[in-house]
Structure 1
């Protein structure tokens, strides 16, 4: 089957061909005809399956007939994060280039005044995060009574971030007779309940078992002592043929510290996390996409939906607290039929998290050692030489500032390894199952609080700088 068989308009087909696509992905082939027939849809698909185009393409053709009115958007797309909302806007720009559709992007970190002006002119497509949308609605700056098409994207991520009450509130303000499309990588009970309440006789489209991982991704676990994680990561980055890589951390402070450490060690790295304002985050993503840096250190704010071509490796510097996040993190590689590799550094404290990940994905992940060492987490002595780094985009190596071993010796000089220091009795963290229940609950609570701090839908931060082209809310045709 080709895109020409899906019933799309000639103008849309022209834009698709110019984008270099000829064959739809399975979810696109299943969803697009049903959306064009005005059916409600539940789409269950893992990341990297072309889900965004499965609703953007038919929406463009549907919205081609009609006219926008002031303050009353004709369609609404809800996204959990600013990055995902911006990415959907890019898709509308790319595929809607031959249609005269207007679009507005309602996200935090962009000046609210310009967004209000765009709404006053009337928009065909409104792409929003729930918090900013509800803020403008409560100020009387937007009406939802003319919105006849709703897309709830990354529904399970919305659930994780606590947006389900906002989504339910938004749904009650839309016309009862509307078309609703819901997409999610997994279908936990709260999402099923949401679909039952707000969708009418939906067609279920499932292209992969929920919570499965991409078969094109080679997955490995690397047992290591907590104090040796940076050293192990550098060894992996040097040993592997890393073209581009995303490194995930659980906390924003870890992202900042790790990026600083990698740059001090000579790697071309950058960072993105929830404490950065929107222009800075967009700028760092653009640097990564252009190849100015080939390593991006990120919090889970970047874990879902970001479609960055050519990511060869994903490294979980921290094992994710929630099993679903593992699936979405490693899904940044192995996209669109390409192959990729995902490493997760695990400490004894991660035993419970890894057990939950393997249970969710239904597979046992291979354990490997740090290059040049065994897979025993206790076998992490000092004295290894700094690994030679390969791959493009890296600067000439400099002595690392955050590790104690000596600088690398010339190859012709034999150098005896320094003796490993005697281990301290209190240095080894207990396995998760050996720790008191109360401690484990406290750790999980800290994880949830940190994830809430990373929520990406905060209030307007008053930024008045230039807006990148695809974020310009004045995009009207």
Structure 2
């Protein structure tokens, strides 16, 4: 089947062709005709399956007629994170370039004034995170009574982040007569309950088994002591001649530690995590896409919502606490039919979480043995320099990673110096709390 068989207009087909696609993915093939026919959708698909285009394309088609009123968007797409919202906005810009539809992106970290101005001009497609949308609604800057299409994207992630009460509140503000599309990578009981509450006789589309890894990704794991993970990471990069990669850590402070370590060894690295200002996050992402940064050290804020064309490698420097997060992390590679590679570094403390990942990946994971003769001196030791974008969080002090300094000449220790006690004036009068005698350590 081709896109020409799905009932899309000539202008949309031209935009799809310009992007470089001719054949729809399974979820696009099933969802697009149902959306065009007005059905509600409950879609379950893992990352990298083309799910975003499955609702972007029919929405552009259905909204091509009509005009938005001031502060009254005609459609609403809810995303759990700013990165996901920005990715969906990019899809609309690519596929909707031949249309006259207006788009607004409501996310935190951006100017309220600029967002309000867009809403006042009239918006056909509104993409928002729940928090910023509710802020603007409570200020009286937006009305939701004209929404014809409502998309809840990454519903399982919304559940994890505690956004379900916000979704319920937002749903109550929308017209009862509307078309609702709900998408999730997994189908826990809570998401199934949510779909039955807000979808009207939906078409259920499940295109992949729940919580499975893509067959286009070559997955490997390495057992290594926790203290040796950074050295092991450099060894793999050098031995495999890895040109670029996203490297995931569990904690924000570890993202900063690893970014500083990589930069210290001459790698062009940048950090990305939730404590950074949105402008800094945008800058780092753009630098990575432009290949000014080769290694993006990230928290799970990047596990969903980052779409890098033909990204070859992903590393799990830390084993994710939830097996589903592993699926989303490695899903940044091996997209659109391309072959990707994923490595996971496992210390003794990671074994329990790793066993949960094995249940999802099955026999897809292959063990790799490290070369014990590899030394720190064999890693890159280029002159230290700053990457074009460091991506540091404003105002956050940077800590030096423990035991992670580039090799330097040894210097003999300085001989101990005799301690000279500084003389001080005699106190005037008794010291309250000590009687008449001043202790020696305070003299």
TM-score bracket, shorter-length normalisation: 0.7 to 0.9
CA distance in 1 between counterparts of 2:347 and 2:227 reads 9
Note the C-alpha offset of 1:366.
2.7
Deviations 1:206-226 (A, max 9, x none): 111011101111112211111
Aligned partner of 1:384 in structure 2 is 375
Match of 1:322 in 2: 322
Q: Give the C-alpha shift of residue 305 in structure 1.
A: 3.0
Q: Is contact 1:248–1:298 with CA below 8 Å preserved after alignment?
A: yes
1:160 Cα offset (Å): 1.1
For residues 16 and 113 of structure 1, the distance between their equivalents in structure 2, rounded to whole angstroms, comes to 33
Q: Name stretches of at least 5 consecutive residues in structure 1 with no aligned partner.
A: 374-381, 390-394, 409-477
Residue number in structure 1 paired with 2:40 = 40
Contact map agreement 1:217 1:341 (CA 8 A) in 2: yes
Q: Which residue of 2 aligns with 1:8?
A: 8
Aligned residue in 2 for 1:24 = 24
Render the CA deviation track for 1:32-61: whole Å, top value 9, x for unaligned. Answer: 111111111111111111111111011001
**CA–CA separation in structure 1 for the residues paired with 2:407 and 2:123:** 61
What is the alpha-carbon distance in structure 1 between the residues aligned to residue 379 and residue 366 of structure 2? 25
Tell me which residue corresponds to 1:136: 136
Q: Paired residue for 1:59?
A: 59
Task: Assess if the C-alpha contact under 8 Å between 1:71 and 1:122 holds in 2.
Answer: yes
- Aligned-pair distance for 1:360? 3.5
Matches within 5 A, 1:436-447: none
Show CA shifts across 1:435-464 (max 9, x none): xxxxxxxxxxxxxxxxxxxxxxxxxxxxxx
Deviation of 1:365 (Å): 2.9
Post-superposition shift, 1:388?
5.2
Which residue in the other structure is 1:117 paired with?
117
For residue 385 of structure 1, report the CA deviation from its aligned partner: 4.6
Within 1, Cα distance between the matches of 2:408 and 2:236? 18
How many residues are paired up?
A: 394
Give 1:174's aligned residue.
174
3-state SS in 2 of match to 1:386: helix
Q: What is the SS of the residue equivalent to 1:205?
A: strand
Aligned: 1:369 with 2:369: yes
Taking the aligned partners of 1:185 and 1:292, their CA distance within structure 2 comes to 31
CA RMSD of aligned residues (A): 2.0
TM-superposed deviation, 1:387: 3.1
Does the 8 Å contact 1:243/1:311 carry over to 2? Answer: no
Superposed, which structure 2 residues align to 1:59-458 within 5 Å? 59-363=59-363, 365-370=365-370, 372-373=371-372, 384-387=375-378, 396=382, 402-403=403-404
SS at match of 1:345: strand
Task: Tell me: CA distance 1:190–1:362, structure 2 relative to 1, closer, same or farther (3 Å).
Answer: farther
Question: Alpha-carbon deviations, 1:391-435, whole Å to 9, x = none?
Answer: xxxx94669995479579xxxxxxxxxxxxxxxxxxxxxxxxxxx
Q: In 1, distance between residues paired with 2:178 and 2:113?
A: 29
2:429 maps to none
Contact kept in structure 2, 1:386 and 1:407, CA below 8 Å? no
2-structure distance, mates of 1:338, 1:230: 28
Structure 2: unaligned runs, 5 residues or longer: 386-399, 410-443
Rounded Cα–Cα distance in structure 2 between residues aligned with 1:99 and 1:384: 57
Tell me if structure 2 keeps the 8 A contact 1:222–1:368.
Answer: yes
Alpha-carbon deviation of 1:243?
2.4
Aligned equivalents of 1:295 and 1:232: distance in 2? 15
> How far apart, in 1, do the equivalents of 2:82 and 2:332 lie?
17
- Native 8 Å contact 1:47 1:305 kept in 2: no
* Structure 2 contact 263–384 (Cα < 8 Å) conserved: no
TM-superposed deviation, 1:383: 7.8
Q: Distance in 1 between matches of 2:299 and 2:378?
A: 26
C-alpha contact 1:211 1:324 (8 A) present in aligned 2: yes
SS of 1:321's equivalent in the other structure is coil
CA distance in 1, matches of 2:363, 2:136: 45
1:162-218 per-position Cα deviation (integer Å, ceiling 9, x unaligned): 111111111111111110111111011111110010001111111110111011111
Q: Distance in 2 between matches of 1:84 and 1:54?
A: 15
Aligned 8 A contact 1:383 1:405 in 2:
no
Deviations 1:282-326 (A, max 9, x none): 111111111112111001001013210121111111100111100
Alignment of 1:450-469 (within 5 A): none
Aligned-partner Cα distance in 2 for 1:317–1:360: 19
Distance (whole Å) between structure 2 residues aligned to residue 68 and residue 293 of structure 1: 40
- The equivalent residue for 2:436 is none
Q: Tell me the distance in 1 between the aligned counterparts of 2:309 and 2:383.
A: 26
Contact 2:217 2:339 in 1 (8 A): yes
| CA spacing shift, 1:218–1:9, aligned 2, 3 Å | same
Larger Rg: 2
Specify whether residues 122 and 232 from structure 1 end up closer, same or farther in structure 2 by C-alpha distance, changes over 3 A only: same
TM-score by length of 2: 0.85
CA offset at residue 68 of structure 1?
0.4
